[in-house]
Structure 1
Amino acid sequence: MERLFRFFSGKKAKINATANETAPERVEETPVNVQNAHALMCEALLDKEFYLKQYPDIQAAGVDPLQHYIDAGHGEGRYPLNLRSADAMKRVSLALEHNSSDQMALTLHIILELESGTHERISAAATLYSDALPDSTPATSLAGYFEQAASFLFGCWIRYESTISIDEIKALTAKLLSFFPESQVLSAIYADLLFEAGEISLAEQEFARNPELHGLQPELESICRSAKNQILDAKAVNTAPPSETRLLLLDSAFPSKISSFRYGEFSTYMTSIKDSSVQTRPDAKLFSFGEQSALSNQVDDFCKANDISKERLRRFDRNHIGNPKVAYCVFLNLADIFFTQIGVPSADHLVFTLYPGGGFAPNYPRSDESLRRLCDNPKVKKIITTQITSYRYLIDKGFCGPERIVHIFGGIIPELYSEMPPLPRSINHSAINVCFVAQRYSAIGAEKGYDVFADVIKAFSNNPSINFHVVGGFDATIIDLGDARNVTFYGTRPATFFPDFYASMDVILSPNIQHSALDPAYPESFDGFPTTCVVEAGLQGVAMLLTDFQSMNQNLDGSRIFAPEEMEIINRDYAMICARLQYYMDNREELYQLGQSGRQAILREFSFERQMVPRIKLLESYLDT
């Protein structure tokens, strides 16, 4: 909203014809007759110091600034105060008490409301504009300020920073567009909101008003181009009416394999529950994480591989979702969008899995508001939790009782559900291979533990008995590793890369920690235990060394999930980690046994019977209700 004030705090008006060119030594202030509404209104608005600084011609003329503003400045459209000042709203409000129809005071009031950045006050500004200023000359200059306010609200929603629903923001933007129908910015934002809300045909129509996306800032233009491309992809996918199934599965990644656990979970539902269908709202970040195929190609590949009709797998379109009885999704953000903001009107039973991440951050207002709205919805019948931290938070904070929660520790690892035998592994008697696998979401990835991993690399720099391997958004420039040559960076890789990669690793090191523990300014989000990367490595017999600062290695009854001989719990002390790695370098048999015991534990805890069977039974129970 910074740009809202450029005009009012920096722009120079034309020199008043009544101002003298010769400056006196000092400014004489004369008594002013303020016994009328106009004079009182001007007196309330005027910041004399600002006025003289803003308009040197008044200073040079040596006239009284208040008298000048009353007699001439107000009529000329000169601006009386700095809207950055702490008392700006107080001055404007007092001025409107004296003259509630003054265009200057109304214009300043509208801009102050727009600057607030809140949906409520921007809506108030729109109402004030439509009631008081629609035909006035100064009002035409407000189009840019309304555009910036709409951009701000849209940006907050895109970043999951707003608790206002997309339909509320969409309705407000439509109202602003009715004021300024020629605004390319408001039209683009409105089209984007229609698209994000799943109104594909209407979004396409709105984008057609400015097909070349003229007049947009680069960031907004990029968002619009992505939306337009996805609309074309949606039309290629949604070639037939939706399948009338009773279970509707909603997601933002499937059928992409970039999110392997969601691919495994949703493909299992599709093949196990014939009365099911998927509508997906692809996250644009999939492509930055390595997805290379368009949605239409992903759908074709999945349907052919699993002998499933394409009517059962569509791009999400809120106007064509059929009449499902049960709807299911994963992650808090998606539950908030699909169940609260957009809604599935025909569904009597809503179920979602509250995985770590995905908008869930304990004690964060945006997260808590989303949870509260979902838990207040009587159609939300069950919440599946996968970590004891999530389970306790729901109950301890009063969101819901235990009767609405199904706790299934862990997550979905699709590799466990195939018939492929494990890759062969033997005791490694040469240099051991230690890997670190994570996406980078911050400058050095400290919350993922890369800072600690880097210290371990430097401690064993060029040691012939140990090699290090880094997969994800990291390279040698993130943290200076000196002249270490026993480290390899792979960048971001697709899911197909990892089975063979882990087969050559001996240890996976995961010294992750809540970002909020490093910087209290961050929400209290947390990774699952173990992380998906650790589980996938453990499945290949890689020894697991990981942190557990949230004490999540326990069942609801307090018993331990993984024993010490199955995985080693570490802290972020790199010296301690180095000592453990040195121990295993000297005791290869114990390292091998740790990996093999860990593999059996992963097979036990993440088996189809423990993970998918209870989920399938839960959803089927509501289909039978």
Structure 2
Amino acid sequence: MNPLRTWWRRLWLKRQPWAILDDFFPNLLTGFRVAEYNAYLQAYPTLRILSTLGDFAQRHAEYAERYPEHAHRVQFFTEEALDGCGFAYLNFLNNAVLFLPHLERRRLPFVLTMYPGGGLGLNEAESDDKLKRVMSLPGLQGIITTQRVTADYLRDFAPRHGLRLPPLHTVTGVVVNPLYFAPDMPAHGAYFGEGKPTFDICFVAEKYMPRGENKGYPEFIAMAHALADLPQLRFHVVGSFTPDDIDVQALGERIRFHGRLETSQMRSFFADKDLVVSPNKPWTLHPGNFDGFPTGSCVEASLCGVAMMATDVLKQDPGYAEAQAMLIVEPDDAAGLAQQVRALVAEPGRLGRIARDGQALSRRLYAPERQIGERMRVLDDAAAQVGLGLR
């Protein structure tokens, strides 16, 4: 932004406290929220974060231990906490619906980031009803979309239902923790085929339904069984999955379950992994449901130097396949996954090339100045439209 324009705008805009409204922060497991909200707390001195998280006190204590400089501005939500608040920001459709009565009653201007998930479904009745309620609010100053399919859907949805389409701002991808760009980022070790004897393949996701069908966990395990004749392979599962979800006894000690990991642990975990597999499937968790591409877990793995292999049913690839910086696979195709892995074993030098090219592209696409900087510009401009200055 032009410095002179910024100075003039700050001169005439009314500076007023504002808030981020959330239902899960400050849980440290929500890495993208921690990264995004901490950046805003650093940049905006009048900002507070108000949360309805059920175990807020415990999670706030953990957050305060890690980020003591911000903790006093992260508070449990009450109606009175909105007194004097002039602007709001939210992530996810369900979050906007949760706080909708307060936004409506106080006529708060707000911006919403419409991530995949969180209640958003394409051509799904319940989601569409939520969209209509949120988009009917006169205070909605803009929507940030992170996937092209979401922006396209909103452009069609608004006129179809006689709704005003607020300004749409596309910032492809997700905010990742700045630790993935920090100078002390662990360097990735040697890859399989470049002096490393084992080929370490990982699956990183949360389990939101039995067997993790929407994330493609059954296909990952079926792939592992199909590759049992390759003794150099090792399999790793990160998230809430356990050996009880699908029988893995035949894999013995070649598969390991690591549980949930925070960002600092993830960086170390990925430092010696070769490939992350994400065979996720849209429309599976509930009608209309879909994930971003690549998933946040894939992005984090790629930033650490891990090669990606993922499905892209909705054709959302921002350029990885064209740059030969990842492998695109089909859903419901464990045999296809196994075939791709066998090809990498047969040509091991290719694995490192895909990983390094993917890491370089991920570092450009998910650089903090791009992901967070563009969001800040949207927030500043949206607040200025109603005469407010956030800084």
Local SS of the residue matching 2:133: helix
- Report the Cα offset of residue 384 of structure 1: 0.6
- Report the Cα offset of residue 420 of structure 1: 3.0
The amino acid of 1:534's aligned partner reads C
* Match among 204, 223, 226 for residue 456 of structure 1: 223
Structure 1 position 465 matched with structure 2 position 232: yes
Match of 2:273 in 1: 505
* Match among 547, 551, 558 for residue 311 of structure 2: 547
Higher strand share: 2
1:185-334 → structure 2 map (5 Å cutoff):
245-283=16-54, 294-298=58-62, 300-301=64-65, 304=68, 307-308=69-70, 310=72, 312-334=73-95
- Report the Cα offset of residue 589 of structure 1: 1.6
Please give the alpha-carbon distance, in whole angstroms, between the structure 1 residues aligned to 2:88 and 2:183.
Answer: 30
Match of 1:476 in 2: 243
- Report the Cα offset of residue 473 of structure 1: 2.5
Is contact 1:246–1:623 with CA below 8 Å preserved after alignment? no
Identity %: 27
Please give the alpha-carbon distance, in whole angstroms, between the structure 2 residues aligned to 1:328 and 1:433.
Answer: 40
Match of 1:617 in 2: 377
- Report the Cα offset of residue 481 of structure 1: 3.3
Local SS of the residue matching 1:406: strand
1:528-547 → structure 2 map (5 Å cutoff):
528-547=292-311
Q: Could you say if the C-alpha distance between residues 320 and 477 of structure 1 is closer, same or farther in structure 2, counting changes exceeding 3 Å? A: closer
Structure 1 position 583 matched with structure 2 position 343: yes
- Report the Cα offset of residue 303 of structure 1: 5.1
The amino acid of 2:305's aligned partner reads G
Local SS of the residue matching 1:512: coil
Match of 2:153 in 1: 393
Local SS of the residue matching 1:426: coil
Q: Could you say if the C-alpha distance between residues 309 and 413 of structure 1 is closer, same or farther in structure 2, counting changes exceeding 3 Å? A: closer
- Report the Cα offset of residue 594 of structure 1: 0.4
The amino acid of 2:236's aligned partner reads H
- Choose between structure 1 and 2 for higher RCO, CA contacts under 8 A separated by at least 6 residues: 2
Local SS of the residue matching 1:439: coil
* Match among 125, 141, 160 for residue 365 of structure 1: 125
The amino acid of 1:297's aligned partner reads A
The amino acid of 1:473's aligned partner reads S
Local SS of the residue matching 2:246: coil
Match of 1:92 in 2: none
Aligned length: 362
Q: Could you say if the C-alpha distance between residues 252 and 588 of structure 1 is closer, same or farther in structure 2, counting changes exceeding 3 Å? A: same
Please give the alpha-carbon distance, in whole angstroms, between the structure 1 residues aligned to 2:131 and 2:369.
Answer: 29
Deviations 1:230-266 (A, max 9, x none): xxxxxxxxxxxxxx95221111222221100001011
The amino acid of 2:158's aligned partner reads G
Q: Could you say if the C-alpha distance between residues 530 and 309 of structure 1 is closer, same or farther in structure 2, counting changes exceeding 3 Å? A: closer
The amino acid of 2:168's aligned partner reads I
Please give the alpha-carbon distance, in whole angstroms, between the structure 2 residues aligned to 1:535 and 1:259.
Answer: 14
1:423-434 → structure 2 map (5 Å cutoff):
423-428=187-192, 429-434=196-201
Structure 1 position 405 matched with structure 2 position 164: no
The amino acid of 2:97's aligned partner reads D
Could you state the TM-score of these two structures normalised by the residue count of structure 1?
0.55
Higher helix share: 1
- Report the Cα offset of residue 378 of structure 1: 1.4
Match of 2:329 in 1: 570
**Greater gyration radius:** 1
- Report the Cα offset of residue 346 of structure 1: 4.8
Match of 1:420 in 2: 184
- Report the Cα offset of residue 373 of structure 1: 1.3
Is contact 2:91–2:113 with CA below 8 Å preserved after alignment? yes
Please give the alpha-carbon distance, in whole angstroms, between the structure 2 residues aligned to 1:506 and 1:431.
Answer: 9
Please give the alpha-carbon distance, in whole angstroms, between the structure 1 residues aligned to 2:40 and 2:378.
Answer: 12
Please give the alpha-carbon distance, in whole angstroms, between the structure 2 residues aligned to 1:427 and 1:492.
Answer: 24
User: What is the RMSD of the two structures over their aligned residues, measured on CA atoms?
Assistant: 2.3
Structure 1 position 594 matched with structure 2 position 354: yes
The amino acid of 1:418's aligned partner reads A
Deviations 1:371-423 (A, max 9, x none): 11111111101011001111111112226666521111101001345343442
